[in-house]
Structure 1
Amino acid sequence: MKQTLKLTDIVAVGFMLFAFFLGAGNIIFPPLAGQLAGENL
């Protein structure tokens, strides 16, 4: 059985992926950057 995605489903999945990657990056990247900087501020 083959199903096609509706436009709303495609938009919802696209927004979910966008929020997932950028949202996680905003939490993970700043502490990592601070740790890598060490004493070099």
Structure 2
Amino acid sequence: MLNPKVRQKTLHQNLDENRHFYFINKNTKRKFCQINQELLNIQV
């Protein structure tokens, strides 16, 4: 079996990476919303 400490560490690393990607995703979504809003403003 794997050493529990090693497994725990990799789990925490995965959580950190997931959190990182989540924030990137959130930021890009916000950017796209902003861009879409600006495009709408230009069309009006």
State the TM-score, normalizing by the size of structure 2. 0.58
Once the two structures are aligned, what percentage of the paired residues are identical?
6
Moved >6 Å (runs of 4+) = none
- Name stretches of at least 5 consecutive residues in structure 1 with no aligned partner: none
Name stretches of at least 5 consecutive residues in structure 2 with no aligned partner. 38-44
In proportion to residue count, which structure has more helix?
2
How many aligned positions are there?
Answer: 37
Superposition CA RMSD, Å: 2.0
Report the TM-score, using the length of structure 1 for normalisation. Answer: 0.60
User: Between Structure 1 and Structure 2, whose CA radius of gyration is higher?
Assistant: 2
